[in-house]
A and B are shown apart, each in its own frame.
Chain A
Amino acid sequence: MKTARELGLGLCPKCHKVNTMQTEPMQCVRCHGLFYQRNRNSLQYTLAWNIAALLAFIPANLYPIMIIYSLGIGDESTILSGIGQFVDQGLYPIAVIIFTASIIVPLIKIIGLFVLVYKVHTGVRLKPDKHSKIYHILEFLGPWSMLDVFVVALLVAVVELGFVTSVAAGPAINYFTMTVIFTMIAANSFDPRLLWDKKLIEQNGHIENEGR
Chain B
Amino acid sequence: MNNLPKTQQVVACHLCDAIFDKPQLKQGQSAKCQRCGSTLVERKVDSINRSYYWSIAGIILLAPAILLPIMGVTLAKQYHNASLLDCILVLIDRGFFMIATLVFLFAIAVPIVRLFGAFYIAISFKYRRLKPSMLNFFRAYHHLDNWAMLNVFMLGIIVSMYKLIDDTELSVNLGLLSLVLWLICTTMASLTLDQDYIWETLEQEFADEDS
Q: Which residues of A contact B (CB under 8 A)?
A: 1-5, 7-9, 11, 13-20, 29-33, 89, 91, 94, 97-98, 101, 128-129, 132-133, 135-136, 142-144, 146-147, 149-162, 164-165, 168-169, 173-174, 177, 184, 188, 192-193, 195-197
Contact = CB atoms under 8 A, between A and B. Distances in A.
B19 to A, nearest CB: 5
Interface residues of B, number: 69
Contact of A158 (B96, B160, B199): B160
Given A5-B17, A144-B152, A164-B78, A188 B199 contact: no
The 10 closest A-B pairs by CB, nearest first: A150-B156, A157-B87, A11-B12, A4-B12, A157-B82, A193-B17, A3-B17, A157-B90, A154-B160, A15-B199
A149 B91 CA distance: 12
B155 to A, nearest CB: 6
A13 B14 CA distance: 7
A168 to B, nearest CB: 7
Nearest to B199: A15
Interface of B: 1, 4-5, 7, 10-12, 14-19, 34-38, 70-73, 75-76, 78, 80-82, 86-88, 90-91, 94, 96, 98-100, 102-103, 106-107, 135-136, 138-139, 142, 146-147, 149, 151-153, 155-157, 159-160, 162-164, 166, 168, 195-196, 199, 202-203, 210
Contacts of A129: 35-37
Contacts of A97: 155, 159
